[in-house]
Amino acid sequence: MASSADFEQAEKRRDTDHESFLSHKRMRWLKISVALCLIVITSYFLVDVEPRHNGGTWYGYTLGTIGVILIIWLSLLGIRKRNITEGKWSLKAWTSAHVYLGLALVVIGTMHTGFQLGWNVHTLAWALMMLVIVTGIYGVVVYATLPRSLSINMREMTRAQMVEGLAAIDRQIAAAAQPLGRKEADVVIAALEQDVFRAGLLARLTGKYPRCKTKRAIKAFPAGSLNKAEEKVSTLLARRNSQLSQIRRHMRYKALLEIWLFIHIPATIALIAALAAHIVSVFYYW
């Protein structure tokens, strides 16, 4: 017998609060994080430690411990995301907490240093932490702004359909190019043979493809002086160009949405290593 508790739970889910990770549970984690920062900042000025604030005081140790625990927990997001176990967790809640608590680290980590920065492994750890956080902030910005453009650009097409659409235009161009003269045919063939997906990082991120052979081919068919076959090829090339642009915009948005993780994650690993070195060295020289 299905229990009615299950039912109520499922009903609540079906009536779900449709809200993003940023506003999850009315910004619960933002509030917690702000409170945490306020406590840290006020106590920083209230607590009087000798000779001055740095990582080595009891206050510094406290903040350091909180910071390490937070960093470890923040890193576990990568596991949580991929370990689809049973239970009532939601990755959205995790991300929400991750973002806001991660930001709080700016305050906690920096106050932990007591602004004692220099050229050493300790500051390296702090700098890596800041790098991870800065890339994280970039990530949140793109997560909040780009999906809309991604969606508009897709126009209800899947990636596979876009690629198939391009292939369909290409087949038409190949057929239509048969009657063309040698010179024109060569530009068209060059355009068709160019691999759309071999694009450099810069091209992907900017969406600018200066060496695009389709654009070049279009220039080879200037309006006004075309015979019937050329006219047809020219129209098809314009269609190819617009299909190509859609694919490129798609690749651009996806690249912008993903690029930061290529720093965020390796920097996290480096951070954990640096953190380990930092802790070991602190206790070793104690």
Partner 1 sequence: MPDQYRVAIVGSGPAGLSAAARAAALGMPHILIEKTDHLSDTIFKYQKGKHVMATPSNLVLRSDIDFEAGKREHILGTWDTQIGEHKVNVRLNAEVTGITGETGHFTIELKGGDTIQAEAVVMAIGTQGNPNRLRCPGADLPLIQYQLDDPGEYFDEHITVVGSGDAGIENALGLAADPKQNNTVSILNRRAEFARAKPANVALLEEAEREGRISVRRETNPAEVRANELVLETRDGTEVIKCDRIIARTGSQPPRGFVEDCGIEFTSEERSAFPKLTPSFETTKNGIHVIGALAGYPLIKHCMNQGYDVIEFLNGNADLKPADEPILAEKFAALPGNRSVDEWLEIFRANIVILGELSPLQMRELLLDSDVAAFDSGDVIFVRNDPGSSMFCIAEGSVLVETDPDDRSATVPIEQGSIFGEVGLISGRRRGSTIRAGEPTITLELSRTAALKLIATVPSAGRAVNRITIERQLLQMFGSGLTKEDVSELVEAAEMVEVRAGENVVEEGGEDKDIFVIQQGSMIVEKSLGEKPIFLSYLPAGSYFGEMAVIDGSARTATVKAAIKSEVVKFPGDAFLRLMEKKPALRERALSDMAARRQVNAFVEERKESFSGAVDMYSETAKFLVDNGIGEATDVLLIDETLCVGCDNCEKACADSHDGLSRLDREAGRTYAHLHVPTSCRHCEHPHCMADCPPNAIQRGADGEVFIDETCIGCGNCQRNCPYDVIRMDSVPPKKPSLLSWLLFGAGPGPGEASYDWRKKTAEKRGTEQAKLAIKCDMCAGIDGGPACVRACPTGAAIRVAPEKFLTFTKLVEDVE
Residues of the shown chain interacting with ligand HEM in the complex, contacts defined by CB under 6 A: 71, 74-75, 77-78, 81, 95, 98-99, 102-103, 105, 129, 132-133, 136-137, 139-140, 143, 261, 264-265, 268
Q: Three-state SS across 193-211?
A: HCCCCCCCHHHHHHCCCCC
- Kindly state the smallest distance separating residue 239's Cβ from partner 1, in Å: 12
- CB under 8 Å to 32, separation ≥6 — which residues? 100, 101
Residue 7 touching partner 1 (CB under 8 A): yes
* Beta strand spans in 95-201 (E): none
Q: Which is nearer to partner 1, 147 or 222 (CB)?
A: 147
Angle separating helix axes 228-258 and 182-193, nearest 10 degrees: 20
Tell me which stretch binds partner 1 (CB under 8 A): 113-121, 127-135, 153-161, 225-233.
153-161
Q: Which is nearer to ligand HEM, 134 or 157 (CB)?
A: 134
Q: Are 274 and 124 in contact (CB under 8 A)?
A: yes
Q: Which two tokens stand for residue 195?
A: 């691999």
Partner whose binding site includes residue 158, from ligand HEM, partner 1, none (CB under 5 to 8 Å by kind):
partner 1
Rounded Cα distance, 124 and 121, in Å: 5
Q: How many residues contact partner 1, by CB under 8 A?
A: 51
Q: Which is nearer to ligand HEM, 142 or 226 (CB)?
A: 142
15-34 residues in contact with partner 1 (CB under 8 A) are: 15-16, 18-24
Instruction: Return the DSSP state at 197.
Output: T
Q: Which is nearer to partner 1, 124 or 205 (CB)?
A: 205
Q: Is 90 in the site for partner 1 (CB under 8 A)?
A: yes
CA distance 99 to 29: 8
Residue 237 partner contact from partner 1, ligand HEM, none using kind-dependent CB cut-offs of 5 to 8 Å? none
Length of the chain: 286
CB of 74 to partner 1, least distance (A): 14
> Alpha-carbon Rg of the chain, whole angstroms?
28
